[in-house]
A and B are shown apart, each in its own frame.
Chain A
Amino acid sequence: MVTTETNHAVPVTVLTGYLGAGKTTLLNRILTHEHGKKVAVIVNEFGEVGIDNQLVVDTDNGCICCTVRGDLIRIIGNLMKRRDKFDHLVIETTGLADPAPVIQTFFMDEDVQTQTSLDAVVTVVDAKHIWQHWDSDEVQEQIAFADVILLNKTDLVTEQELDELEQRIRSINALTKIYRTRDAQVEMENILGVQAFDLNRALEIDPQFLNESAHEHDETVYSIALVELGALDGEKLNSWLGELLRTQGPDIFRMKGILNLAGEDCRFVFQGIHMLFDGRRDRPWKSDAERKNELVFIGRNLDEARLREDFRACLV
């Protein structure tokens, strides 16, 4: 009786970027590329096929699901009532939107979870004009949440300026992939089918970021990577992570990690968006040499020394 046919989840790409960065150009490239497929585009705050972008983080009880308004769920639920479902869903957020509530919807709603799979957050950055808005919350959030960033309009800036921009983006988000583009020209396989939210995918931290021994956190939002050998005490880890999400959830934009739990032959992988946490046992470790813990936090007001110390305290 249970449905078995055509039960594949529809991939979803979340497209962000400040006004005028080139989102629409990229969207048109996606639509051209997906020619012949059914692509639904949900445009945030634009007419009815829109979603709300505000998130009132209820820090008293830390319950994000209470604060996602249900609009996106309503729209996706409505779109999915088709025998011939969509092949791909693109959610274009407005330039001023915080992408967090959109991403959280894919973690917290049971219907959205079963019917769709979040592929990646793609952020388009105007390489020349981003500096005017660099300190705005929107720009910082859009960079912090991105799995893929296009440094667009490279023709308007020098190589040196691009290098500087790339470095500053890296210090905000050590996990993102960066591509330099003109007119948002990018290989489609670099932005579609990325499966950035798939826990089976390896954690890929920019090696250069890991090699730097000390990080100056010049940006308001920044990345912290913890790499530690040794096995973790599951209970200690649980209570530490629980406490961390409870007290600093609103400041942690994204986190990802691979952990070596004591007494386990398998890796434990996890990711989080603010207070939402998604983790599970992964494949077995290939060798003892591979056994190490790697965590990345992207957020603000995070105390790197304290995080490292507290994490080490969870080691057996």
Chain B
Amino acid sequence: MAANWQDFQPIWRGELSEYVTAIAWLPNGKSLVAGSAAGEVMLLPTGTKEAIALQTATGQSIDCLAVSGDGRFVAAGGQDGTVKIWQINSPAPELITTLENKPAWVDHMAWSPTANHLAFSLGRYGQVWEADANAIATTLNFESSSVLGLDWHPDGKFLALCGHQGARVWHIDDWDDDPQWLEIPSASVAIAWSTDGRYLANGNLDGTLMMVEWQLPENPWVMRGFPGKVRQLAWSQPMTAIGSPLLASCSAESVVVWERDADESIGWASQVLEAHEGTVQAIAFQPDTLLLASAAEDGWVCLWHNAQQLVQVLDGAPNGFSCLSWHPHGQLLAAGGQNGELLMWSQSAAGKGFSKH
């Protein structure tokens, strides 16, 4: 057990009518947004206020949702092909835009970290919607398959889409310019820029992880030996001694953490975190620390101190967890379950000032 470790305690529990497909905190940490396979989109305040249904069950799954960096907008998309955008800083949330894309599904979306630009996937295409103009700024053709993942560079200058044969990266100043292509001999199902923007990592269907230094994309690292496809990736905010963030990856029941080694011949050293007995569905670092949370189909959320030592196991979704989200200030952790469970845990107040670096 790590020194000074303060347990997370359950503080709230709710339920949606179906599989919780996505959750996200508002940047001020006062509400959590959750979407379900029944089509619900709920705004759940952490205090005593009532939950607000942005959308009630429609029978068609919500597959992704995202909150803009300034907290003004919530967007959600799913199997009915619509992207709905609510403005939520007004007294009552207001639906300001509905983009229809039938029969395409909207599986992935993300707001630019620096502007109110929403990127989302539409089959083989990606689109970017701009809040100021309330209009689609561009449509990007991924060509080789459906878009299986997308991520914005932390400085907001690049948008990366991934799918069959790798990743394509567009520069926002010229959407019409050919994207830079990072070729992978498989389908890439997860993509993530490091928090410092230096690295781009791809998790692939063939059980490999490919990482490039963005300035040197022709020299990728390829990590092999995963027990299955590499489903999700998460970069830490803190840097290690040699100035690189940690990369957590999950594959089947394993979480694998990668740390750049000072020795160039080693490249990235790995550590396998084993505790789960079901497929790990989500991983996320606590903001500003190296505390890693992993949520799996075994019904457990594991907390790993320094991304290596198991310090606590949380439960509450006996049929399995599906998603995770850390409160922006890090004291609260929320998770969604495959039977609609929504749970929130808090690190006790006594843990204030506790440092995990």
Contacts and interface: CB of A to CB of B under 8 A. Distances in A.
Interface of A: 1-3, 5, 47-49, 52, 58, 61, 63, 65-66, 68-71, 73-75, 78, 81-83, 109-111
Contacts of A63: 185, 206
Interface stretch (B102-110, B254-262, B304-312): B102-110
Interface of B: 18-19, 21, 37, 61, 63, 79, 81, 102-105, 107, 123, 144-146, 148, 163-164, 185-187, 189, 205-206, 228-229, 252, 277-279, 297-300, 315, 318-320, 322, 338-340
Contacts of B279: 110-111
A1 B299 contact: yes
B306 to A, nearest CB: 25
A47 B103 contact: yes
Contacts of B123: 48
A202 B72 CA distance: 62
27 contacts: A1-B298, A2-B278, A3-B278, A3-B320, A5-B319, A47-B103, A48-B102, A48-B104, A49-B105, A63-B185, A63-B206, A65-B206, A66-B186, A66-B187, A69-B163, A70-B146, A70-B164, A70-B189, A71-B164, A74-B107, A78-B79, A81-B37, A81-B61, A83-B37, A83-B338, A109-B205, A110-B229
Contacts of A78: 61, 63, 79, 105, 107
Contact of A66 (B185, B189, B338, B339): B185
Contacts of A82: 18-19, 37, 61
A112 to B, nearest CB: 11
A63 B63 CA distance: 30
A69 B18 CA distance: 28
Contact of B339 (A1, A48, A75, A83): A83
Contact of A3 (B102, B145, B206, B297): B297
A81 B105 CA distance: 14
Nearest to A84: B18
Nearest to B103: A47
Contact of A68 (B105, B107, B205, B228): B205
A306 B205 CA distance: 36
Given A1-B300, A49-B103, 20 more contacts: A1-B318, A2-B299, A3-B278, A47-B103, A52-B145, A52-B164, A61-B185, A63-B206, A65-B186, A69-B146, A69-B187, A70-B148, A70-B189, A74-B146, A81-B37, A81-B322, A83-B19, A83-B37, A83-B340, A109-B205
A176 B3 CA distance: 66
A70 B252 CA distance: 17
A63 B204 CA distance: 14
Contacts of B277: 1-2
A74 B162 CA distance: 13
B79 to A, nearest CB: 7
A68 B278 CA distance: 24
Given A3-B297, A78-B79, A70 B205 contact: yes
B279 to A, nearest CB: 8
A234 B315 CA distance: 46
A73 B105 CA distance: 14
Given A1-B300, A65-B205, A47 B104 contact: yes
Contacts of B298: 1-2
A197 to B, nearest CB: 21
Contact of B206 (A52, A66, A71): A66
Interface centre among A52, A58, A74, A111 (most CB of B within 10 A): A74
Contact of B145 (A2, A65, A71, A110): A71
A70 B187 contact: yes
A22 B19 CA distance: 37
Nearest to B231: A111
Contacts of B229: 109-110
A290 to B, nearest CB: 38
Contacts of A74: 107, 146, 148
A82 B60 CA distance: 10
A48 B19 CA distance: 22
Interface centre among A61, A81, A82 (most CB of B within 10 A): A81
Contacts of A110: 228-229, 252, 279
Contacts of A70: 145-146, 148, 163-164, 187, 189, 205
A247 B257 CA distance: 37
A48 B103 contact: yes
B220 to A, nearest CB: 16
A168 B163 CA distance: 41
B146 A71 contact: yes
